[in-house]
């Protein structure tokens, strides 16, 4: 597609449930990033994928968070046993090779009740 596509756009889940968030980057973009924006906070880096290299997971806040990128394209961010503090907008971005020139998706607004 023309842009970065994220689904679902909104997700409400009960505390303790697992959720999966999907990101479909721009075709040909080798770099993919996940960020999240909690209420009143900036964009917090979570994880970075670049081609076939090992991902940089240094931003993941806990071991309940994991992400995969299959075939160098679509990425899934999984949050296990969700907590209320996980409520945020989760943003995915892709770029040709990292650095500037990110294109962001519209995000998934996750609400844990």
Partner 1 sequence: DQQVKQNSPSLSVQEGRISILNCDYTNSMFDYFLWYKKYPAEGPTFLISISSIKDKNEDGRFTVFLNKSAKHLSLHIVPSQPGDSAVYFCAALDGGATNKLIFGTGTLLAVQP
Q: Using an 8 Å Cβ cutoff, are 50 and 100 in contact?
A: no
CA terminus-to-terminus distance, the chain: 33
Q: Which of 12-20, 44-52, 61-69, 73-81 is the region at the interface with partner 1 (rule: CB under 8 A)?
A: 44-52
Residue 90 in the binding site for partner 1 (CB under 8 A): no
Residue closer to partner 1, measured from CB, 45 or 76: 45
- The single residue among 20, 45, 72, 74 that binds partner 1, judged by CB under 8 A, is 45
Beta-sheet pairing, 65-69 with 31-37: unpaired
Structural tokens at position 51: 């081609």
**Within 13 Å and on the Cβ side, how many CA atoms surround 31?**
14
Q: Which of 11-19, 67-75, 77-85, 90-98 is the region at the interface with partner 1 (rule: CB under 8 A)?
A: 90-98
- The single residue among 42, 52, 70, 113 that binds partner 1, judged by CB under 8 A, is 42
């Amino acid at each position: 597609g023309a842009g970065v596509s994220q689904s679902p756009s909104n997700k409400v889940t009960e505390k303790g449930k697992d959720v999966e968030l999907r990101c479909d980057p721009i075709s040909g973009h080798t770099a993919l990033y996940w960020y999240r924006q909690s209420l009143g906070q900036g964009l917090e880096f979570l994880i970075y994928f670049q081609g076939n290299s090992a991902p940089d997971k240094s931003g993941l806040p806990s071991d309940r968070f994991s992400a995969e990128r299959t075939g160098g394209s679509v990425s899934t961010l999984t949050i296990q046993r969700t907590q209320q503090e996980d409520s945020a907008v989760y943003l995915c971005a892709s770029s040709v090779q990292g650095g500037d020139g990110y294109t962001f998706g519209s995000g998934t607004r996750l609400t844990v009740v």
